[in-house]
Amino acid sequence: MRKIMVFWGVFFCFLLYLQTTSMAQAPMMSEQLVYSLNVYNGKGYGGAFNPQTENTIYFIANKDSAISARTTLVYFWPITAKFMAGWQTLNEEVVGTLEILKEGKLIKSLKKQDNSLYYPEGYWGEISLLCIDEDAHTYYEKYKEATEEYYQKISEFYKARIEYRKKMDEFLEEIKKRREAGEEFTSEEIEKSIPKEPKPPEGPKFYTTEPRKDYVIDLPVGSYQIRIRAEDGTIIQDSQKNLVVFTSRRTGGTGYEIIPGNRWTMKESCDDPARIIYAAGKNTLYFNPFTQDEYNELYYNKLEDPQNPGRVERWRWVHITPIKDVTLLFLKGEEVLQRVKRLPYYVKQIPGPTLGYNITEYDKEKQPYERPTFEGYKLDLSSTLERTGYQINLEKKEGGFFKGGKREVRLVRKENSRLLYALSIFPLVIGVVIFLKRRRRLAP
């Protein structure tokens, strides 16, 4: 028995050695013509690239999307099980005219246009717009001017802060001398004469990328083909792709992003109105409601990344616009237990060997150099609440409820919360049992 254990131990160590040595080797690269994409995804714009292994590109209908053919080095990355582009090593523009065909007939010939992305709420904001031609340059120049003005204000702020520290040192020295001389004064007198600390300037609230040249495509729903015709009239090799342009099946739904207070990085979604929200014991949940549209799962997954998997028979909800001007209600039947406003919050890591963090309400006056980590509606669930049916809903400013915002909330005892995991594993156990029974029947 001991020899068998030693054998298997050596065998697994050998497999681990092979895996680590294979990962340490440089990946095999091949030069390919690929398409660099900047696609509209229903809520903004996202970048991706389409390697030669993917024959179809997906766009949302009646919206501008930017596409450009590039020659780069492509390699397979085992960790993500996807092909990656080595843009820094090779990134050459493919010159020509993009032709769009439908059922084999040429319907459009496109030249490249200047375009840039404009983020009205900043680069990390939830909104982005594609600016084309003159608009692209106009918005970029505005961003450059705002950035230069900000740097000028920063320079003035640093000078003012140096001057403030000098005055503060002089003030403290003066206070010390007056106290040593036996002079008495009130805290109000000190507050009036104390030097005022300068406030740091705010940077540009918007962001604009530098203009670049791409083919800008805007098409109705349908199936198309694209290719690039070179200046000599020939079709560039490997430039042919299928193009599927689709739209949403349903619009105007309401979905929730839920941030648990005890594990804020593990966000969850509750998009189906029939889905129940479960909470165990004393807990704090942060809700972010969104308007949402429903798209075909395969089409949308491929839109975000052409290498993503998906099922053509399935549909998925996509969060589009955050819902902000409402009040979150925590209800028990008709009784309103809590009324929650949307607030910004700041997540701070707890120093020391113990991993953890604190989520506090963001205070701009006390945290001038920080930005809020997220915004949301904070709902505190007490452990003393009855184990009965509760609901959340969204109340409009003018009265009435936001369409589709109602969800059922069920509280479970912490000691019984493991039952939820058992229920989720139950279908898997049934599947294993059925598989084993069928295998025994087929065995000779």
Every domain of the chain and the residues it spans: 29-247, 251-294+317-430
Structure-model confidence comparison of residues 197 and 191, the more confident one: 197
Structure-model confidence comparison of residues 272 and 27, the more confident one: 272
Which helix (H) or strand (E) segment holds residue 297: the answer is: helix 297-304
Q: Could you tell me the CA-to-CA distances from 83 to 28, 59, 246, 289, 307 in Å, in that order? A: 11, 21, 25, 35, 8
pLDDT grade for 419, boundaries at 50, 70 and 90:
low
- Number of other CB atoms surrounding residue 421 within 10 Å: 9
Beta partners for residue 93, in sequence order: 70
Percentage of residues in the chain having pLDDT higher than 90:
63
Q: What is the pLDDT of residue 22?
A: 47
pLDDT grade for 2, boundaries at 50, 70 and 90:
very low
Task: Tell me the pairing of strands 97-102 and 222-229.
Answer: antiparallel
Structure-model confidence comparison of residues 24 and 297, the more confident one: 297
The Cβ-side half-sphere exposure at 358, using a 13 Å CA radius, reads 6
Residues contacting 339, CB < 8 A, separation 6+: 327, 328, 329, 330, 395
Q: What is the pLDDT of residue 190?
A: 79
Q: What share of the chain is helix, strand, coil (3-state, %, to 5)?
A: 25, 40, 35
Asked if 94 and 69 touch (Cβ cutoff 8 Å), the reply is: yes
Lowest-confidence region among 31-35, 120-124, 420-424: 420-424
- CA end-to-end span of the chain: 30
User: What does the mean pLDDT of the chain come to?
Assistant: 87
Whose structure tokens read 């983020």?
119
Q: Is 24 helix (H, G, I), strand (E, B) or coil?
A: helix
Rounded distance between C-alpha atoms, residue 322 and residue 338, angstroms? 21
In 3D space, the residue among 305, 240, 233, 239 whose CA is nearest the CA of residue 94 turns out to be 239
Residues contacting 331, CB < 8 A, separation 6+: 337, 390, 391, 392, 393
Is residue 13 scored above 70 in pLDDT? Answer: no
Q: What is the pLDDT of residue 376?
A: 95
Rounded distance between C-alpha atoms, residue 34 and residue 52, angstroms? 6
pLDDT grade for 426, boundaries at 50, 70 and 90:
low
Is residue 175 scored above 80 in pLDDT? Answer: yes
pLDDT grade for 213, boundaries at 50, 70 and 90:
very high
Q: Of the ranges 13-17, 162-166, 184-188, which is most confident?
A: 162-166
Q: What is the pLDDT of residue 1?
A: 45
Q: Could you tell me the CA-to-CA distances from 59 to 42, 103, 245, 291, 305 in Å, in that order? A: 10, 18, 5, 21, 11
What global pTM score does this model have? 0.79
Is residue 280 scored above 90 in pLDDT? Answer: no
Phi, psi of 185 (to 5 degrees): -155, 155
Q: Could you tell me the CA-to-CA distances from 210 to 86, 122, 140 in Å, in that order? A: 21, 14, 6
Is residue 201 scored above 50 in pLDDT? Answer: yes
In 3D space, the residue among 296, 256, 294, 248 whose CA is nearest the CA of residue 273 turns out to be 256
Is residue 113 scored above 90 in pLDDT? Answer: yes
pLDDT grade for 153, boundaries at 50, 70 and 90:
very high
- Number of other CB atoms surrounding residue 135 within 10 Å: 16
CA 79 to chain centroid: 21
Q: What is the pLDDT of residue 354?
A: 67
Q: What is the pLDDT of residue 416?
A: 52
Rounded distance between C-alpha atoms, residue 144 and residue 207, angstroms? 9
pLDDT grade for 18, boundaries at 50, 70 and 90:
very low
Averaged pLDDT, 94-105:
96
Structure-model confidence comparison of residues 375 and 281, the more confident one: 375
